[in-house]
Structure 1
């Protein structure tokens, strides 16, 4: 990940095109830095072409009197003067050997390792320049564009502009390409071509954007005589890097030094400024004791944050980076699907922002929203049951919409008047959570997330749960069901996770009948006691996240749905075009769109909802957006010729084009992932059959089954569960619950990366810490849908070591 040192100022050199003078101007920077007394490190990660004209050799040759202060290195060298990806392929073909082309991760690790090695040699302020090849989008060895290959390192950038015909466009385009990937651009340099005079246009253009621009005289034309050419070039460098240390190139060096100093100062000041200004969600500020408790995020890429560690008591030495990688162990509150700063999503956001900005949606349409609605309803989680898609801002507001839909549909069907409609309640499960807006809170029982205005409206069953205990899949029955079942033990061995989630088989078991009897008896009592009319069933299918990563027995949820659809109407059979009993809402904000390896939970449960909500993964974690889908029979409850009967609900950013376009891009990425070899390898470990039908209802996880089994046997662990990207570990704690700190304390050691751990490294090769959150006595970890197997194994190793040490 990103590297930042107190005494080693690093800048990466990108070019707006090939042959724009990257090496010439970088050599001038190297020479000027050395002239100012700094030790200078030059790195050319990839060089193509003959050695005598290689860029690293050019830098050494023209360092002038300062050669002793300059270290010039190349990591990957190829003879053919072509693009790096082609040079690597040709080298493989010419040797006839099976030589592996370095992956992006290997490439980034090599660059980062060299930078860290140089940093260990620094004893005073020094400079480093990392020169790329070709233009900003020239491929690296793997064929990936340079901007994406180098992005995990997140080095501040100097852009070399194009001074030739067409150079204004290529320079601006390169600058914008860098911006789209979040790069910090500290200066733009280019030659002062007196014919095209591009610098005259570019200087004010970038000045308006706060970017420093410097134009320098171009080098002399190349002389046919080699010795004469070297002499002329040396005179050129003496001219633009004068001994007086004044002029353009020294202005650039001073500016780059200032940028580095400002960045260090800003990072150092952020913890204190944050404690003075920010009010965090879900944080008791009284427990935040010092600035060291503030997690300062400088950037993020893939599965990792890049966090500042200079404010910690054990501040790193000058030779260690002030930024360290930190694994995003909660997928940033469950939003990340394909990692941070995914270029396809960033480009989608820019595309929609540039085309639309934001536009009013009532009685209108635009292509991103229409495309997304059709994909979700026809081919996505709404396939086979949904007819309409309603857009809102986030999961909580999406659930508010769902509740309005369900309550209206119930009221219309039963002809309820206004006073009766005010007293409707919902049916749900204890531990449920549907968001922090007031209406969504009212759909849950009293708990830690509710507020002063909370008015619990409904009834919530205490659900049986699924977990792995000592290597066995078990269902834990709450006391009321355990008594009814007649079993002495509240634990039911379900043989395997595969069987636990096999609805076709488990619906035939005695436990299914026990659940049915319990639910029916409870509902009868509610009616006999004159409780408010229940108007909807609201479920978080399979997993209730915020309530403590509660993996609900899917059989209980399936039977509950069957009962409410049969107990409130006659006949019990449900017409395909009409909801019966109670409208059923699936809150799939957390679990939907492959968080559990399933596009939707409906196929596994064997039933579809009448209303469902998707958010979080929907936009890959980039922007907020929620979609509430509904069947046609729900839609018809609002359909009339009276305005007052419409769904009078909306948000200023309804169907936000940026969010819709990003969601479409996310779905494109997910479609590729679900059929990828990486997924197939993981599914094979969990013995998932190869057929698509089987995969749609299979229980499997990106976490290794042997690791999950081993964790479940630790003395300190009550139970563990893994499903899709989610790993949940409940620790033994007699005073457990949301307010417990047991899980947090047990895993404290994984927050910081070990100084040396070759088996636990982030992209860039650095050992990493793990950022995680707990729900009382439950620790949970979450992956992206494209987290590499190496990273997963590394995280598993860190968790295992921490918990094993506590158990010992």
Structure 2
């Protein structure tokens, strides 16, 4: 029995892998209890945008904690939430007029799915089928797993998952994707959910903006609600504030989390168009939107998100994003020449590649890579033998160099 009683996520404790203790963090560096300095090359699971312990966000959290820490949000409101909703309206597509708060990326997806089904039910139209993109991943709650790829992530929970329609991923077969989506939409689907331009946990798979735009067009023609899961892709990760911008796409429902608070504390929102809100607006209480959690729109989390929005307004964040894109491009070009590297791809601040040809999430190479990077004081967490880099925007040249040197050295393991 281990000394700790903690059961960690996505961790096979039977392997006895070491679990470091992080004492503090600043910028792109994690400081462990035993004195190591670890470069956080994946933004601590894709959440940290401006760097750890950002002073503006930390100050906002401290100030709000001393003023109002928590209040029920059903039938009540507070200033941080009102400011955040207004701030999001100001920078997100104008068509997304309604802001619903939740706690994580997974719950923002649950909210989106329930909004879509409620929309059709309250309109008296029998649409209930959800469509998803092959290899998609939207979280680990039941609804989010249901609209994700079936496989090792959710095989155990198969009896709990509802049936969905799967549209083939457009990897060199864009027309097959569009034809399949056209057929499914024509049959009267309720909604189609996608990760725009890049699939995260599904392997950092990319597809072009023109395909995203055409998928959106097909859904619009058939009245199928289009849900954009920008939990990972939002807040500059793909080189624009939202990945959908690159395709000129505005979804009916938008899911945001991770970078919403700069990665400091958990918070999520699901934004919707006015028709979706109006479908739930009635003097009939049975038509209300039945979703909440105890910590919906927690004031401290909202204060952190407001500080994040202020950073986006006041500081040259997109310049930092563009600079990181340029710096990573140089390392990326050098890596693609290595014979052990296959499938190298880059989108905005995200770089991904396979070492050894791509053998899946449970590849035997994965734990070896994890240990190899940890020994070099670099936090990289491969998806099988897919190695990806998604650092905070503040990462220095020296820190970035350490990351790519570790990946280059790891090629010898293949």
Q: What range is the shorter-chain TM-score in?
A: over 0.9
Question: Which among 19, 28, 43 is matched to residue 331 of structure 1?
Answer: 43
Aligned residue for 2:294, secondary structure, equals coil
Q: Any conservation in 2 of the 1:353–1:658 contact (CA below 8 Å)?
A: yes
Which residue is equivalent to 1:368? 80
Which residue is equivalent to 1:750? 373
Q: Any conservation in 1 of the 2:195–2:230 contact (CA below 8 Å)?
A: yes
Question: Which among 84, 87, 96 is matched to residue 386 of structure 1?
Answer: 96
Which residue is equivalent to 1:245? none
Question: Which among 425, 440, 447 is matched to residue 151 of structure 2?
Answer: 447
Larger Rg: 1
Q: Any conservation in 1 of the 2:25–2:52 contact (CA below 8 Å)?
A: yes
Q: Any conservation in 1 of the 2:133–2:168 contact (CA below 8 Å)?
A: yes
Q: Any conservation in 2 of the 1:595–1:785 contact (CA below 8 Å)?
A: no
Task: Give distance in 1, aligned partners of 2:327 and 2:225.
Answer: 35
With over 3 angstroms needed to count, the CA separation of the structure-2 counterparts of 1:519 and 1:440, relative to structure 1, is: closer
Which residue is equivalent to 2:170? 464
User: How far does the alpha carbon of each residue in 1:328-362 deviate from its partner, in whole angstroms, 9 at most, with x for none?
Assistant: 12211111111112222121111111111111222
Which residue is equivalent to 2:141? 437
How many residues end up aligned between the 2 structures? 412
Per-residue deviation, 1:715:
1.2
Task: Give distance in 1, aligned partners of 2:135 and 2:384.
Answer: 13
Task: Give distance in 1, aligned partners of 2:317 and 2:59.
Answer: 23
Answering whether residue 331 of structure 2 is matched by residue 723 of structure 1, we say no
Task: Map 1:108-507 to 2 at 5 A.
Answer: 272-274=2-4, 277-288=5-16, 293-308=18-33, 322-377=34-89, 379-381=90-92, 383-416=93-126, 424-450=128-154, 451-465=157-171, 477=172, 481=173
Task: Give distance in 2, aligned partners of 1:556 and 1:436.
Answer: 27
User: How far does the alpha carbon of each residue in 1:752-778 deviate from its partner, in whole angstroms, 9 at most, with x for none?
Assistant: 24xxxxxxxxxxxxxxx1021111121
Aligned residue for 2:292, secondary structure, equals coil
Answering whether residue 182 of structure 2 is matched by residue 520 of structure 1, we say yes
Aligned residue for 1:773, secondary structure, equals coil
Task: Give distance in 2, aligned partners of 1:283 and 1:655.
Answer: 30
Answer 1 or 2: higher relative contact order, Cα 8 Å, separation at least 6: 2
Task: Give distance in 2, aligned partners of 1:717 and 1:361.
Answer: 50
Task: Map 1:383-782 to 2 at 5 A.
Answer: 383-416=93-126, 424-450=128-154, 451-465=157-171, 477=172, 481=173, 516-521=178-183, 527=187, 534-566=189-221, 568=222, 581-674=223-316, 678-679=320-321, 682=323, 701=325, 703-733=327-357, 736-746=359-369, 748-753=371-376, 769-782=377-390
Root-mean-square deviation over aligned CA pairs: 2.3
Q: Any conservation in 2 of the 1:410–1:583 contact (CA below 8 Å)?
A: no
Range moving further from structure 2, 780-789 or 451-460: 451-460
- Structure 2's unaligned 5+ residue stretches are none
What TM-score, normalized by structure 1, do the two folds share? 0.49
Per-residue deviation, 1:371:
0.7
What TM-score, normalized by structure 2, do the two folds share? 0.92
Per-residue deviation, 1:413:
3.5
Range moving further from structure 2, 390-399 or 722-731: 722-731
Q: Any conservation in 2 of the 1:707–1:796 contact (CA below 8 Å)?
A: yes
Task: Give distance in 2, aligned partners of 1:676 and 1:405.
Answer: 32
- Structure 1's unaligned 5+ residue stretches are 1-270, 309-321, 466-476, 482-510, 528-532, 569-580, 684-700, 754-768
Per-residue deviation, 1:515:
5.2
